[in-house]
Amino acid sequence: MKLVNKIEYRHFSTYMFIILFLLSINSSAISAEYNALKGVKQVKAVFDVSIGSPHKANLVFWTVRNVYNDKSVRALQEPPEVVVVFHGAAVNLISSNRDGFTEEEKKALDEFAGLVRQMTQEGVKMEVCLYAVKVMGVDPASILPGIDHVDNGFISVVGYQSQGYSVVAIP
């Protein structure tokens, strides 16, 4: 019985050493991962989105979400502030109306809607340009819940930029 306990203790000690070693490597890697974040207290970004492809939007929005949830960004003194402003063809991606899309695109739109829902629940602010909604022939009532309606998305982007947000264009 004592031999079993010694073996279990040795395995436990080995596992704990490995875990602590990996944590120490990981924490130093996180702090040195982005030179651009040295001296930064908070990330504030507005994503200016006009992309019209559901497949591309899913790829791009994974990285947009990652900006908000990244460990290095979260480790800063203040939590990140991320805003997404939809205009142009992108307004079709956030509408519940799927007319004009292929079956494959409809699946991608469902995935995108889930990602948008997740991001708003996590705290990412989203806005849609009502001028673009009108020009693109989208019913404002079909816009996904959780997305704020603004008359002119460009005014939002300029306003956020004036408040110190970095603008990231996603054409």
What are the tens digits of pLDDT across the range 53-106?
999 999 999 999 999 999 999 999 999 999 999 999 999 999 999 999 999 999
81 plus 155 within the same structural domain = yes
For residue 49, what is the enclosing H or E element?
A: strand 44-49
11 plus 91 within the same structural domain = no
Number of domains in the chain: 2
Instruction: State the pLDDT at residue 94.
Output: 98
The 3-state secondary structure of 96-142 reads: CCCCCCCHHHHHHHHHHHHHHHHHHHHCCEEEEEHHHHHHCCCCHHH
103 plus 141 within the same structural domain = yes
Rounded to whole angstroms, the Cα distance separating 26 from 80 reads 21
Range of the domain at 71: 40-170
More confident residue, 20 or 52: 52
147 plus 64 within the same structural domain = yes
pLDDT band at 33 (very low <50, low <70, confident <90, very high): confident
146 plus 71 within the same structural domain = yes
Q: pTM score, two decimals?
A: 0.81
CATH assignment at residue 73:
3.40.1260.10
Type of residue found at 121 = Q
Q: What is the pLDDT of residues 108-166, one digit of tens each?
A: 999 999 999 999 999 999 999 999 999 999 999 999 999 999 999 999 999 999 999 99
101 plus 156 within the same structural domain = yes
Say yes or no to pLDDT of 28 above 60.
no
Residue 95 corresponds to which tokens in the numbers above?
Answer: 């509408």
19 plus 65 within the same structural domain = no
Rounded to whole angstroms, the Cα distance separating 145 from 143 reads 6
